[in-house]
Structure 1
């Protein structure tokens, strides 16, 4: 029998458009796990997968074999900007570098298209903070989440 895991929360700052009037939010346990993966910054995932941009559905999907194992949904904002909403990876594929590589490949694709991003996902924000070579992709007028993970204040 395993002990239940207490939710771990971090505070992060939202831009006004994030829907939090006080500028604060809390990360879920799932988000905390993925942020920890990004902070560990593995250079390559533990197995092969590819990323597909399903423009119709508005999601970058991580695909292993014939199965979606993670995703990064987005909204299109005009002709030259994507709003990156949330990173998710199925639990059995976490801590293997999938989130990190999914975000990297999605941002590389955004760069190739000559677009910018608004980051609403604290996991993507943390990735960019750890990989500043992607910071130029953040739209200066609509940056989104102001900071990635940081401990919650009591």
Structure 2
């Protein structure tokens, strides 16, 4: 059974997912000075697609961001879709910015 792990590579400003120690994907972000992390791009290596790794990566990135006390700006469509399907993460997106990402106000 493959073991997936997600780590925040702060030097490269991205969350990285590995499977059995091999790079499998990443989620790029930019840290804004106003306590908001903007997620820009998510990519999973074609060899690992269809295994749910993108969802694991996004969930771990959102959980880590929440634990850091930061908000989220989901410029990446994968993050927008994940938040839409998992409304427990909606509170991470500032209410006055949700319409910009086609997210519900509440």
The TM-score with structure 1 as length reference comes to 0.62
Aligned residues: 103
Q: Is the radius of gyration larger for structure 1 or structure 2? A: 1
| Alignment CA distance shift 1:77-1:141 (3 Å) | farther
Q: 2: distance between equivalents of 1:117 and 1:144?
A: 14
Match of 1:105 in 2: 60
Task: Show the 5 A alignment for 1:1-154.
Answer: 47-143=2-98, 146-147=101-102
RMSD: 1.9
Structure 2 unaligned segments of length 5 or more: list them: none
Structure 1 unaligned segments of length 5 or more: list them: 1-45, 149-154
Q: 1: distance between equivalents of 2:28 and 2:44?
A: 12
| Alignment CA distance shift 1:78-1:48 (3 Å) | same
Q: 2: distance between equivalents of 1:144 and 1:50?
A: 32
The TM-score with structure 2 as length reference comes to 0.88
User: With CA pairs under 8 Å and 6+ residues apart, which has the higher RCO, 1 or 2?
Assistant: 1
- Give the strand-richer structure, 1 or 2: 2
